Amino acid sequence: MSKPRVGIINVTGYAGVELARLLTGHPDITLTSVTGRSAAGQALGEVFPHLAGAGLDITAEMGEVDFAFAALPHKESAARVSQLIDGGIKVVDISADYRLHDAALYPEWYGFDHPHPNLLKRAVYGLPERYREEIRGASLVANPGCYPTGAILALAPALENGLIEPEIIIDSKSGVSGAGRTLSLKTHYPEANEDVTAYALDGHRHLPEITQELARLRPEAALKVSFVPHLIPMTRGILTTAYAPLRPGGIAPDARGAMELIELYRQFYDGEPFVRVTAQPPHTSHTRGSNHCLIHPTLDLRTGRLIVVSAIDNLVKGAAGQAIQNMNLMLGLPETTGLDAPATYP
């Protein structure tokens, strides 16, 4: 039986090139087509020497494939994905164009009217730890954003088990690769090096995605979520720290409660191949190059608050690795195929 032919639309962005890196080592598919407008006509190995072994040329249009990853920028992806779906090709979309269920949110948060609101109802949110069975049967999966991945996985056990009040604060710090490969002043080396800054304090575009998914974990609660992202002078990684008051009558704000919390998180993620609950706060370097999310829950015994820290590689579990995890499920392959490599160290 021949292996599925897989294509990447827009291989020249950070998510696209990370997809290519991981897919060239995938044993059960064949990467046959990679596109990129600015680099069309060049060998993939000329643009990215570490991928010379793939033996592919970058083309303007995708060849015949059985499965596609759309790694286009937001707004540009929606129309192309619709064409692929109409052609019977299964798709994982890495942009935000199919993540939000409510089409009315797109003008407010992404600055465009969604051209295919009917497809929003068909798209499955691609967080396997929450929607594994739906992903298996999907033809279109909306790959989660990097910030939402770390935040949702950090808070899901506490919300689903009713441990916390609906007042949630999420503080996330990301490496500069999260801003994409397009040149900009804020990621220019002299501007970003030896500097840390908060941004999008009036509302980051990932906030409605985070709120949408957290609300599904606790539909009866009127969640109030504050989300503040920060830019850190490193290439990869997101460290998220989430805070929320404990609900009265739930887990006790004492040393015994802290141990119960760890055990609850471990049971919640028992059997999940890419989520690990750690005894100590994780470092972003502990996830570099891997598809793992490391989570450390604890209690602030003085204030009665939950504190949860999560770490991911924003280009792997936050983008390309999670996309491949979704592809594996959609193609009926073992979920961890091609994603078993541990983090790089140091």
Structure tokens that stand for 321 in this block:
């690795």
> What is the rounded end-to-end Cα distance, in angstroms, of the chain?
40
Angle, vertex CA 136, rays to CA 321 and CA 266, nearest 5: 65
Q: Tell me the C-alpha distance between 255 and 301, whole Å.
A: 8
**Please, what is the angle between helix 146-160 and helix 255-268, to 10°?**
120
Phi, psi of 298 (to 5 degrees): -155, 180
Q: Tell me the C-alpha distance between 195 and 240, whole Å.
A: 18
Q: Tell me the C-alpha distance between 330 and 134, whole Å.
A: 9
171 within 8 A of 241, measured Cβ to Cβ: yes
Structure tokens that stand for 252 in this block:
């006790």
235 within 8 A of 181, measured Cβ to Cβ: no
The catalytic residue positions are 146
Residue 109 is given by DSSP the state H
Radius of gyration, CA atoms only, the chain: 20
Structure tokens that stand for 204 in this block:
């980051």
Q: Where are the alpha helices (DSSP H) in 26-123?
A: 44-47, 77-86, 105-110, 117-120
Q: In sequence order, what DSSP letters do the residues of 55-67 get, joined into one string?
A: --BEESS--S-SE
**Please, what is the angle between helix 128-136 and helix 146-160, to 10°?**
100
Angle, vertex CA 229, rays to CA 308 and CA 282, nearest 5: 35
